[in-house]
Structure 1
């Protein structure tokens, strides 16, 4: 474990010295923290249930180390007496107390009222979020020596937190506003999102856009050999390079930046490095005896790097890259960031002013910190903003949010994958869509929940609702009383003494629901393998399924109710079974028997009705028999289920099945139909079961340029009334 024995800054655990904190340090020392309490609401978009998500809040108030009881909102001084929870003992490590006991400071998300934590004025605060187990922190005390807490340390193989997935939101709520960020500085463990609202229309949003499985797969497909070892397959996380053996002393990449640093220190022994540090001014420096001394042109201020940095010091912003006085650290931050990004251009002549703010030059010329480049990809991180190394806030490339007058914040566990970026409905205070704008996803909202989200004084005056959804406003807080329903439009609600007293609302789907989950897109699994399939649409199926094997998947169900689940399966065996589960197997949703289909690639459908709650959560497919393959499953309401089942389950002769083909797949504009002479009608459905195109007696080409990007089912009805269905992907 890592011990924190003095007041921690926003980046204490990663040893980062954020430039913004230089401006805040005077405020911290004089205890003038913001008196504005900021509600942080946790939205669970993860594969874990609320009961399996654990939350703790630690920080500093008036030089005392404190923790927040998230069940009651009480602020408590850290004390050794808080260490009452028995933790795991790994390699004989009994922890700092030598008794295997750790702080009882975590609560399950399901235990936190309204899933909202009220954050007071506080420094060095960390909201710790772990999955399937609490973390094991050790409290030393509120003040004196030692004080603070021992935090997780992934570099320690006997740390009791080894194998526990967790994430962190770092924040300071001070007199000059709220400073908060997500972080990838030590590792990536799970997607996260962070949104902050403030007065005068302030709003900023950061976080990951893809699922955990997609991020891990993208890393594995893109990572160069030097960084491949950052992926910890055992724990399903990605570690910062310096936390891996390859980049540590004696490792293959221990001198990764060595040639670049040597070239910088060599060139500027006889030449001047001049760079523009933005608000910090223009600096000019030269090396003498490995000491790099810079002078600011505007006032002669001096900043020094006292020695040529090591590989670890460059990557972590530690040692000579985090020492000395205020201006030393400003210079060190600039140069450290420039080296990680490879922004120092060694081809420029003596004294040419370099602009390190041009992000199009980042991560282009080797060597650079590829780990950082990965997290700044726009398809991974919203607006390419993330905290991938300690000085990522240089030129504001980090995920830091500074709200001068904060009102509220939302933490999205699991990031934004599968969520509408602005919600499916938005409520406004004014009929001109002003005053405030609060995005809502499907769900029920009481007045207190709306207030926590920023819908203040129950004075909703206008709504915008996305196609396929409806919003119902109720007069009473228990979803009763006179109602107003709005669907798929921009609506100003006339003030008739109802809207200004509306106390609750529901956001619901207003259309047939259906979602297709490819079997190979599991988030976690045990025992199975993927293989190529000859089923319609190609791609992969999941096979080699034995008794006791399982796969889990993330789903978002718009409203609670009965759904039809259809499985695309194949097996040469009789009476194999699968079951659908929730809550890691604690909730059994139902089982189906799979008939002998005649082969591992002879596909059919089996289905059952299940009752599902609304929300985003994880479901699992498990088996006590094994012995079958699965290509995909469809979850749909009964109307769509009948359509999809009828489309897919019509009997086909094997020869006819081969005779009709559509290509290419995926397709951009034009499909080519082989065997079109035998087709009476071609009908295209989206995954909601809606017919989007129908052609009678089609020729050998079908123009689908007008269709939106996505997955479609094409039903081919032959002249003998038999049916074949093919799944296509429109690019």
Structure 2
């Protein structure tokens, strides 16, 4: 039987499955039981660090927060309190630089700021929230995919495990090869421009289309227009049904006067551009504060990224993963990531957790109300067995996406 509340702390086993003895972890977040204070874990893996507001921007941390993982094959167990909006960072053959701004506000590593001291390092992260209700964690590729694969296993107090396999050790190279192949198929689009190489050669990371547009806002302009036109043509004479998977149930729309019209409080949608589809948060998909409309927006954005909206008029409950990304105009970054991941799961765009109510999870998440040990492996090795199926979700998709969007806005403001 599930407990009413989680324990006040969580043990995390960090496993080094790289070929390097110079791997470090960092943990950041907001301490729920300490007035949501900014939290970092110190290098000993036990002591919390609550920074005070500095007198100037870009101030260094006052303590060492780089947790050494030891030699290849080593495992280090750390302990954290309840945290919201948390990230577990890894870096190989170097150390990450975090700064503090007045507030205090944490300035995180960036993959789009050329002057960031971390820009040339091999680093990555996964995301998690640990509160009184559950531990929820996922492997995120929403911003980029790195050369450091992450795998997750969550074991609960009953000894049951949930697992996300992540990428193989050569996952980034396979992804970059597939992006170059897609460039050869669509030479004018720019899929190869998502690839970031190291000084001296070799793949360092691959940016998501949305992140790559931070540096080049013209990238992918007009790419989705023919597909959007195809969708609009279909629903001029066909009814689109969207299951909100919430109290609003099914809502229906048709294209009227150039707008996809749901009527009532949900209203209309104009044609989205590629930037709107990749970000899931601009143009017609801009968060409105209307929960019913935002639920529809999430499901439309997911269907556009997967390019299933033109053929499936019942979203998302008639969806199957085998039908995703089959149109020639689609989010090929997301397609490739799912193909290369060992179990085909992981967040590739902001609403990659949208799926049919009957199942078919794509998001690469683990969650449980009674966590005992969360094991995180970096480097491509397995973190545990994949025998346990994923059960019903115990979180609200739209609230978690709003949290992600808030992080994104702060991130862009720092550039």
Same fold (TM over 0.5): yes
Partner of 2:127 in structure 1? 170
Which residue of the partner structure matches residue 272 of structure 2?
A: 309
Contact 1:102 1:137 (8 Å CA) reproduced: yes
Q: Quick one: distance in 2 between partners of 1:244 and 1:341?
A: 19
Q: 1:303, CA displacement in angstroms?
A: 3.3
Q: Give, in angstroms, the shift of residue 54 of structure 1.
A: 1.9
Scaled by the length of structure 1, the TM-score of the pair is: 0.45
Give the strand-richer structure, 1 or 2. Answer: 1
Matched, 1:193 2:151: yes
Distance across 2 between alignment mates of 1:352 and 1:111: 51
Q: Describe the superposition over 1:552-575 as per-residue Cα deviations: whole angstroms up to 9, x where unpaired.
A: xxxxxxxxxxxxxxxxxxxxxxxx
- The corresponding residue for 1:256 is 223
Decide whether aligned partners of structure 1 residues 114 and 71 sit closer, same or farther in structure 2, where only a CA change above 3 A counts. farther
Gaps of 5+ in 2: 184-188, 356-360, 387-415
Select the residue among 176, 198, 203 that pairs with 2:161: 203
**Partner residue of 2:345?**
385
Aligned mates of 1:274, 1:127 — CA distance in 2: 39
Q: Distance in 2 between matches of 1:398 and 1:304?
A: 29
Q: 1:158 aligned to 2:115?
A: yes
Q: Give the distance between the partners of 1:220 and 1:47, measured in 2 at CA.
A: 22
Show the counterpart of 2:332.
Answer: 370
The 2-side partners of 1:257 and 1:372 are apart by 15
Match of 2:87 among 119, 126, 135: 126
Would the aligned equivalents of 1:188 and 1:239 in 2 still touch at CA under 8 Å? yes
> Which structure exhibits the higher relative contact order, with contacts defined as CA atoms closer than 8 Å and separated by 6 or more residues?
2
* 2:42 matched residue in structure 1: 69
Give the RMSD, CA atoms, in angstroms: 3.2
**Secondary structure, aligned partner of 2:346:** coil
SS state at 1:383 partner:
coil
Taking the aligned partners of 1:265 and 1:197, their CA distance within structure 2 comes to: 46
Query: Can you list the C-alpha shifts for 1:278-334, whole angstroms capped at 9, x where unaligned?
Result: 566322123456654437xxxx8x435654322122112122424012222211110
Aligned to 2:241: 274
Partner of 1:413: 378
Instruction: Give the 3 Å change call, closer, same or farther, for CA 365–118 of structure 1 in structure 2.
Output: same
Alignment of 1:473-488 (within 5 A): none
- Alpha-carbon contact 2:153-2:162 (below 8 Å) kept: yes
Paired with 2:228 and 2:271, the residues of 1 have a C-alpha distance of: 7
Contact 1:54–1:106 (8 Å) recurs in 2:
no
Q: How is 1:385-404 mapped onto 2 (pairs within 5 angstroms)?
A: 385-395=345-355, 396-404=361-369
Judged with a 3 Å threshold, the aligned counterparts in structure 2 of structure 1 residues 323 and 217 are, in CA distance, closer, same or farther, namely closer
Q: Work out which of the residue numbers 51, 67, 72 in structure 2 matches 1:78.
A: 51
* Aligned with 1:230 (options 194, 199, 212): 194
Q: Deviations over 1:218-249 (max 9, x none)?
A: 53156301422222222521111233369943
Quick one: which of 7, 13, 16 aligns to 1:44? 16
**Distance of aligned partners of 1:68 and 1:185 in 2 relative to their CA distance in 1, 3 Å threshold:** same
The alpha-carbon distance between structure 1 residues 279 and 401, as it changes in their structure 2 partners (threshold 3 A), is: farther
- Structure-1 separation of matches of 2:223 and 2:62: 39
Alpha-carbon distance in 1 for matches of 2:316, 2:280 = 21
Per the alignment, residue 361 of structure 1 pairs with 323
SS at 1:407 equivalent: strand
* Cα distance between partner residues in 1 of 2:215 and 2:229: 18
Say whether the 8 Å CA contact 1:247–1:256 is kept in structure 2: no
Find the aligned partners of 1:202 and 1:322 in 2 and give their Cα distance: 39
Give the whole-Å Cα distance in 1 for the aligned partners of 2:211 and 2:315: 35
> 2:302 pairs with 337, 360, 366, which one?
337
Q: Which position in structure 2 is the counterpart of 1:8?
A: none
**What do residues 670-719 of structure 1 show as CA deviations (whole Å, max 9, x unaligned)?**
xxxxxxxxxxxxxxxxxxxxxxxxxxxxxxxxxxxxxxxxxxxxxxxxxx
Name 2:293's counterpart in structure 1: 328
Query: What corresponds to 1:571 in structure 2?
Result: none
Match of 1:60 in 2: 30
Residue 268 to residue 422, structure 1, CA distance change in 2 (3 Å): closer
Return the alpha-carbon distance in structure 2 between the equivalents of residues 154 and 403 of structure 1: 31
- For residues 236 and 321 of structure 1, do their structure 2 counterparts lie closer, same or farther at Cα, with a shift above 3 Å needed? same
* Deviation of the 1:106 alpha carbon: 2.4
Distance 1:196 1:270, change over 3 A: same
User: CA deviation digits over 1:38-94, x for unaligned, max 9?
Assistant: 211111101221xx212221111233222222415222322245x9xxxxxxxxxxx
8 Å contact from structure 1 (residues 56, 105) kept in 2: no
User: CA 1:285–1:268 in structure 2 vs 1: closer, same or farther (change >3 Å)?
Assistant: same
Q: In the aligned structure 1, how far is the partner of 2:169 from the partner of 2:101?
A: 37
Q: Provide Cα deviations, 1:505-544, integer angstroms capped at 9, x if missing partner.
A: xxxxxxxxxxxxxxxxxxxxxxxxxxxxxxxxxxxxxxxx
Give SS of 2:235's match.
Answer: helix
Note the C-alpha offset of 1:277.
Answer: 4.8
The 1-side partners of 2:317 and 2:104 are apart by 43
Please give the TM-score of this superposition, normalised by the length of structure 2: 0.76
Give the drift of 1:412: 0.5
Q: Which moved more, 1:150-159 or 1:277-286?
A: 277-286
Cα deviation digits, residues 476-531 of structure 1 (max 9, x gap) = xxxxxxxxxxxxxxxxxxxxxxxxxxxxxxxxxxxxxxxxxxxxxxxxxxxxxxxx
Which residue of 241, 244, 250 maps to 2:209? Answer: 241
Count, aligned residues: 358
Structure 2 CA distance for aligned equivalents of residues 398 and 354 of structure 1: 15
Does the CA-based 8 Å contact 2:85-2:129 persist in structure 1? yes
Write out per-residue CA displacement over residues 402-431 of structure 1, whole angstroms, 9 at most, x where no aligned residue.
112111111111122xx69649xxxxxxxx
The Cα shift of 1:97 comes to 2.4
Higher CA-based Rg: 1
